[in-house]
Amino acid sequence: MLRRGLDRAVAAGDRATAATIDNDLGAVYISEERLQDAEQAYARGLALFKQMRDKEFEVAAILRNLGCTYSLQRRYEEALKTLDQAERLPIIRAGGKDPKIQGLTAEIHNTQGIVHLRQGKLGKARDLFEQAIRAR
């Protein structure tokens, strides 16, 4: 069903819908342990969202998802680099009171913490988990 929706969105030139569906497909692929397919879906969605002005939140979210995918593949340096890109976006740096942004910020820090935990860097992981809690 998502593939059909994606095909229709692409045919109609609806980049925002296509990018959103690619993000959703990535999540489905993760749940099926199809990590390469998830990475490709997230990369397509990211490329589309980056072309749009008002999609900085979506860019940060899909960078977080892509970073998580890299982490699951044990590609820790790529994961951290991608998560750092998400964290450096102005919408995340600005913080603020928006619960949606606070939640995404917490997810980014939590995912960074998981990567460091998998690398055996327990102190750094703990610090990031604490940042995630404070972000909420």
Whether residue 35 is found in the same domain as residue 94? no
Taking 90 as the threshold, does the pLDDT of residue 3 lie above it?
no
The whole-angstrom distance between residue 82's C-alpha and the CA centroid of its chain comes to 8
* Domain's final residue, options 11, 30, 52: 52
Whether residue 62 is found in the same domain as residue 97? yes
| Domain of residue 73, residue span | 55-136
Q: How many domains is the chain built from?
A: 2
Give the span between the Cα atoms of 114 and 126, in whole angstroms: 9
Give the chain's count of helices (H) and strands (E). Answer: 8, 0
Whether residue 129 is found in the same domain as residue 86? yes
Whether residue 60 is found in the same domain as residue 108? yes
Taking 90 as the threshold, does the pLDDT of residue 70 lie above it?
yes
How confident is the model at residue 117, as a pLDDT? Answer: 98
How confident is the model at residue 96, as a pLDDT? Answer: 78
Neighbouring C-alpha atoms within 13 Å toward the C-beta of 44: 19
* Domain's final residue, options 24, 52, 80: 52
> Residue 84 sits in a domain of what CATH number?
1.25.40.10
Q: Pick from 82, 111, 117, 133: which is nearest to 125 by CA?
A: 117
CB within 8 Å of 79: residues ≥ 6 apart? 67, 68, 70, 71, 111, 115
Whether residue 42 is found in the same domain as residue 69? no
Token pair 């606070």 in the structure block, residue: 102
pLDDT, one tens digit per residue, over 84-133 is 999 999 999 988 789 999 999 999 999 999 999 999 999 999 999 999 99
pTM of the model: 0.94
